[in-house]
Structures are given as structure tokens and as C-alpha cells.
Amino acid sequence: MKPSGRDCLIIALDVGTRAEAISLALTLAPFAAWMKIGLQLFTAEGPDLVRVIRETGAKVFLDLKLHDIPNTVARAVESAVGLDVQMLTLHLCGGTEMIRTAVSVAPDTLLLLGVTVLTSANSETLREIGITNRVSQQVVRLAKIGVDCGIGGVVASAREIGGLRKEIDRNVKLVVPGIRTPGSEEHDQKRTMAPAEAIATGADYLVVGRPITSATNPMIAAKQILEEIESAF
Ligand code: C5P
């Protein structure tokens, strides 16, 4: 069965307080089944907020982008499982041993996602840290490592979806941030794409933050993006 647009839309709750996060989660629930709690909010409000957002009925994507020694990452995955989250991220550049150890403790109810190259990075960012691959090559390289280790999904920009779909199994979910409607502000994102185009190219889930949460009317912005997603089905 094809998912609804609402099932594909993840709102990045990149706000600083519990009150703002709860208000956004309740307001945007008709348009998005998923709420993403990232580093800013988790650091400010902690695990209790994850429980509160779950209680609104949303599925929770805990975007902690774990990257540490294998044992530490695996224990953090277990802690996240205890919070009943449905998606969790780790950095694939942590390597095979770290990824496999994390996968070994993740239950089927958790979609463990591997972050490839952040959408705010470009080839200059990679060169700076000694990686000579182009972004697209590095994304595919890391995604293949993740999939070989049993990761269930990959986070990448929409511009890499085509390359990834050729190289990795169709069952591996592609989660795509850096979504911008044409003409809207890019902020710090460098590899963006419009919602309908991203879905048509093969994204399974879209992560949208500021285009909705910073809009004058977040409900109208979310509705427009949802309609765009559904137009691509
Ligand atoms: O506000 P915006 O739509 O740019 O938010 C994108 C969200 O997706 C942010 O929460 C950011 O941390 C996250 N993200 C990303 N690029 C990745 C992985 C996650 O932008 N590669």
C-alpha cells in the first residue's frame, strides 16, 4: 500500500523550548505523522520531551547523529529504544564496527538511519577534512557501508537520491532533508530540492524544518508542502 503524504512528512522541531515544540507538534499533526527531535531540543529538554511528543500521537525521529566508539553508540541506541522512538540517526563515517554494533541492538520497530554527508556540506567541506571524493561519491560510499552493515535507511540530500537508488536496495529507506520550495530561503542548506521533485526522484521521507516552523503561518506552509508531496504520487 502506498503511504499517504502525511506518512512521508517529518517536521524538524528545531526550537529551544518544550512549549514551542508541543505547540508545533499539535498544530502540525494533521499534516505530518512524524516529528523530529534534534540536538537543540533534546539538549534543552531531555528525554521527557520525547515521551510528551509521543503522547501527542506523533511518531518520533530522534536525530542524535550518534558517532562514538561502538559500545557507547550501542548503549545510546538501547536508551533511545527505551524512549519508544521510531527513527534514530547515527553517522556512517563512524565505520563498520560502530554501525554493526548499533544495528545488533536495534529492534525491528526502530528504523536506524545512517547519515551520509550533511546537506550543509559541499565538496570544499569534504576537502577541508581530507576527503577527495565528490559529495555524490562519498554519499554512495557511506550508504553502501551502512547497508552492508544492515542499516534500514539512509539520510542524504535529494540531489543524491538518483545515484543511491541505482546502487542500493529499494527496501532501504531514503530520508531527505534540505527541502525547499522554489524561491524560498535556503538558510545553511547547500544541496536542496523541492518537495514534489524529491518524492518523484525516490525519497521515502522528507524532513522539513524552517520552511514550515519559521513560516508566518506554519499550518499553511505545511499544507502546501503536503499537497506538493501528494502531487508527486
Ligand atoms: O530547517 P531545515 O528544513 O533546513 O531543517 C533540516 C533538518 O534536517 C535539521 O533538523 C537538520 O539537523 C536535519 N538534517 C540535515 N541534513 C542532514 C541530516 C539532518 O539538514 N544530512
pLDDT digits (tens, 9 = 90+) for 7-44: 999 999 999 899 999 999 999 999 999 999 999 999 99
**Any residues with Cβ below 6 Å from ligand 1, and which?**
12, 14, 38, 115, 118-119, 155, 177-178, 187, 189, 207-211
For domain 5-231, the CATH architecture is Alpha-Beta Barrel (3.20)
Ligand 1, pocket-test mutation among 28, 65, 119, most atoms within 8 A of CB: 119
Per-residue pLDDT, 2:
59
**Mean pLDDT of the chain, nearest integer:** 94
Helices (H), 85-134: 96-105, 123-128
Percent of the chain, pLDDT > 90?
89
Per-domain boundaries in the chain: 5-231
CA distance 24 to 13: 7
Measuring from atom 5 of ligand 1, which residue has the nearest CA? 209
CA distance 214 to 202: 27
- For helices 96-105 and 70-82, give the axis angle rounded to 10 degrees: 30
Task: Write out the catalytic residue numbers.
Answer: 65
Concatenate the DSSP letters of all residues of 144-204 into one string.
Answer: HHHHHTT-SEEE--GGGHHHHHHHS-TTSEEEE--B--TTS--TT-SS-B-HHHHHHHT-S
Measuring from atom 13 of ligand 1, which residue has the nearest CA? 177
Global pTM reads: 0.94
Measuring from atom 18 of ligand 1, which residue has the nearest CA? 118
pLDDT digits (tens, 9 = 90+) for 145-174: 999 999 999 999 888 999 999 999 999 999
Closest ligand 1 atom number to CA of residue 118: 21
Q: Are 196 and 9 in contact (CB under 8 A)?
A: no
